[in-house]
Structure 1
Amino acid sequence: MAEGAIGHPAQRGRWAAVAVLVFGACVIGFSGILVRLTGTGPAAAGVWRLGAALPLLAIMARTTTGGVGRPKRILLIAGLMFALDLGFWHYGIKYTSVGASTVLSNLTPVVVTAFAWIFLKQRPRMLFLAAMAVAVAGAWMMGIGRGAGTPVLNAPLGDALSLTTAFWYALYFLTISEARKTESTNRLMFWSSATGAPLLLITALALHEQILPTTTAGLAACIGLGLVHIGGQGSIAWAMGRLPTSLASVVVLVQPVVATYAGFLLFGEALGPLQTAGAVVALAGVVLAQWASRPGPVRAAAESPT
């Protein structure tokens, strides 16, 4: 069998990481839905997402690495970036549709790829750049394809907040990519959550938000956010230690596809032909990006499975 074939151990490990990344992106795609269902304020929903996950993350860290240890600066920075990401995104969800907010907040591949190329020396192939453009174009089509019947409070404000989220999400991506070189997934998840939760709580109190859910369904959604955070963001963080940053940022564009269709099914958010076509284009870009970034025969032979 050729060294660069899928059967090679390094290639199998790479495809496993891609599969975990796609799984994590799909799980996170439902987080916007749960934010809407909590009945709390936008920043407060972020507090619940991170706070509800902390006990289980602590147990997981103790089981796998002997404990959470002391936080390094890179972990605290990751928590700050994630708090900014969640705060802006959740307010974007409040004012615009779940699908549009998730699409716009995930337009991070351009920032991530440029940064990785310039500072991390991860030079992309021309075919990868083309694939990234296709995926981003598909996400853009999904965003502008929002139908007139979609119930939103203030679409321009929500879209602007969601677009700003893309910047914070890119910085978070780059931070966890660097942190995963020395830190375990569980320790990274614990300290980034422990850092982000109080920052979001301060924000929620300052903005006089509803902190506690008022219904049983809202409480269930709050707990669900914690589980989604562990399963989704944990999977993404794990895969980030095994894949190029630029590739990972494109693959997670699966997330807005899931969010858009979930919003359509649960909230009646309009789904037009342009959004449907955009989903197909975005997914095609993701597949092409993975194919374009595959290791060549020489590189694959040199890699060892992790």
Structure 2
Amino acid sequence: MTEGAGRGQAALAALTGAALIGLSPIAVRLSEVGPHATNFWRFLFALPILAVWAGLARPIPSTRQIGLILIAGVLFGIEISLWAAALGFTTVTNATLLTNLTPVFAAIFGWLLFRERLSRPVLAGGAVALTGAVVLALARAQSATGPAADASNGWIGDGLGLCAAVGYAGYLLIVRALGRQVSVGAVMFWATLSAAAVSCALSFGLSEAMLPQTLGGWAMLIGLGLVVQIAGQGLIAYGVGRLPIAISTVLLWMQPLVAAVLSWILFGEALGALALVGAALILAGVYTVQRSRA
């Protein structure tokens, strides 16, 4: 296979995976159980297949590497939980876009932990993206859309989305540190295992409803595990690992795009002019940061 064909397949994989991940916030909103319980079932239904994948994949991770992946999975579980909680306070678009500010926080963590240089483009891109986040939050408040449209705690949802981006940045930094030492299958299995533990603890701690009442409710949870966690995350892991970071960043924008379109159709969460400006600033800032860090 030529290099061009290989990159084409990787790009298609990342694009398809991002589109599948975009279904996740819609499923969380429509789920018959609580948001953390929804995430728990998503992880649980994915684990058997991921266990087979991890068992067949090589190289086999060491005990130390498994420990690091488990820590990364805890951060991933926290990120997913914060993002799911945000969906109960703000719009799907806000929660998804703000969570996608991960590269900005990854750059900050890289500077703090690894003394990576923050170039002017990184600083400028981060400033633009964070400005876009503020504009997007203001647009949500003015348009009075979302679950908390009539309450000031819509800002809490936006804040939770930002915190989710911080958690995911920590997850990515650990995975990045392991690099090619560990297979994708092993990373996904062990990280999903510890993320499931986090979601389970939160769902029981918050006394959420754990069992769906209909077959449709169970089907949605199974679909989340198979379609989103395995197919979506797996395709993204395959594609992103074989593409330049600036290109993969653009392709992963399919996730918030799909989420925004579906939330507009299903929940009437329309994007006004100000929201579109905020979204554009976030995407432009994230792309600038990723391109510079590449």
Range into which the TM-score falls when normalised by the shorter chain: 0.7 to 0.9
Worse-superposed segment, 63-72 or 219-228: 63-72
Separation in 1, partners of 2:121, 2:187? 32
Structure 1 residue 238 displacement after superposition: 3.3
Q: Which runs of 5+ in 2 are unaligned?
A: none
The residue correspondences of 1:73-222 to structure 2 (distance < 5 A) are 73-117=67-111, 119-120=113-114, 123=117, 126-127=120-121, 130-131=124-125, 133-135=127-129, 137-138=131-132, 140-146=134-140, 148-153=143-148, 154-222=153-221
Amino acid at match of 2:205: A
The residue correspondences of 1:241-252 to structure 2 (distance < 5 A) are 241-242=241-242, 252=252
Amino acid at match of 1:195: S
1:257 alignment counterpart: 257
Query: Do the aligned residues in 2 keep the contact of 1:116 with 1:245 (CA within 8 Å)?
Result: no
CA RMSD of aligned residues (A): 3.4
SS of equivalent to 1:180: helix
2:26 alignment counterpart: 33
Query: Do the aligned residues in 2 keep the contact of 1:78 with 1:175 (CA within 8 Å)?
Result: yes
SS of equivalent to 1:181: helix
Structure 1 residue 198 displacement after superposition: 2.1
Structure 1 residue 83 displacement after superposition: 1.2
Amino acid at match of 1:86: I
Query: Do the aligned residues in 1 keep the contact of 2:245 with 2:290 (CA within 8 Å)?
Result: no
Identity of aligned residues (%): 37
Q: Go from structure 1 to structure 2 and tell me whether the alpha carbon gap of 1:123 and 1:69 turns closer, same or farther (over 3 Å shift).
A: closer
Query: Do the aligned residues in 1 keep the contact of 2:60 with 2:182 (CA within 8 Å)?
Result: no
Structure showing the higher helix proportion among its residues: 2
1:275 alignment counterpart: 275
TM-score, normalising length: structure 1: 0.77
Query: Do the aligned residues in 2 keep the contact of 1:104 with 1:166 (CA within 8 Å)?
Result: yes
Separation in 2, partners of 1:75, 1:19? 27
Task: Kindly tell me the number of residue pairs found equivalent between the two proteins.
Answer: 286
Separation in 1, partners of 2:134, 2:35? 24
2:49 alignment counterpart: 56
1:42 alignment counterpart: 35
Q: Which runs of 5+ in 1 are unaligned?
A: 1-7, 295-306
TM-score, normalising length: structure 2: 0.80
Amino acid at match of 1:152: P
Query: Do the aligned residues in 2 keep the contact of 1:113 with 1:246 (CA within 8 Å)?
Result: no
Structure 1 residue 276 displacement after superposition: 2.7
Amino acid at match of 2:80: L
Worse-superposed segment, 137-146 or 171-180: 137-146
Worse-superposed segment, 120-129 or 166-175: 120-129
